[in-house]
Amino acid sequence: MKKLKRSYKIEINPTQEQKTKIHQTIGVSRFVYNFYIAHNKEVYEKERKFVSGMDFSKWLNNEYIPNNQDKKWIKEVSSKATKQAIMNGDKAFRDFFKKAKGFPRFKKKKNQDVKAYFPKNNKTDWTLERHRVKIPTLGWVRLKEFGYIPVNSMVKSGTVSQKAHRYYVSILVEERDIKTSNSNIGIKISNSNTGMKISNSNNEGLGIDLGIKEFAVCSDGIKFKNINKTSTVKKIEKKLKREQRKLSRKYESLKIRNKNIKEGRATRQNIQKQVAKVQKLHQRLANIRTDYINKTVFSIIKQKPSYITIEDLAVSNIMKNKHLSKAIASQKFFEFKTKLMSKCKENNIELRIVNRFYPSSKTCSNCGEIKKDLKLSDRIYKCDCGLIIDRDLNASINLKNAKEYKIA
pLDDT at 147: 81
Distance CA(361)–CA(12), nearest Å, equals 45
pLDDT tens per residue across span 144-185: 988 888 887 788 888 999 888 889 999 988 876 544 434 333
Distance CA(241)–CA(247), nearest Å, equals 10
pLDDT at 368: 86
| Count of positions (residues) in the chain | 408
Higher per-residue confidence, 304 vs 320:
304
pLDDT at 181: 38
Whether residue 226 is predicted with pLDDT greater than 90 in this model: the reply is: yes
Instruction: Tell me what percent of the residues of the chain surpass a pLDDT of 90.
Output: 49
pLDDT at 267: 64
Give yes or no for a contact between 343 and 305, defined as CB atoms under 8 angstroms apart: no
Confidence band, pLDDT 50/70/90 cuts, at residue 262: low
Residue ranges per domain, the chain?
3-176
Exposure b/e, 60-91, CB count within 10 A at least 16 = b? beeeebeeeeeeeebeebbeebbbbbbbbbbe
Q: What share of the chain is helix, strand, coil (3-state, %, to 5)?
A: 40, 20, 40
Q: Picking from 167-181, 331-345, 386-400, which range would have the lowest pLDDT averaged per residue?
A: 167-181
Distance CA(15)–CA(250), nearest Å, equals 31
Give yes or no for a contact between 198 and 188, defined as CB atoms under 8 angstroms apart: yes
Distance CA(127)–CA(120), nearest Å, equals 10
pLDDT at 216: 94
| Averaged pLDDT for residues 260-279 | 75
Distance CA(219)–CA(217), nearest Å, equals 7
Pairing assessment for the beta strands 132-135 and 139-143 based on DSSP bridges: antiparallel
Average pLDDT, the chain: 85
pLDDT at 102: 86
| Averaged pLDDT for residues 376-386 | 86
pLDDT at 315: 72
pLDDT tens per residue across span 103-136: 899 988 766 566 788 888 788 888 888 899 999 8
Distance CA(50)–CA(94), nearest Å, equals 10
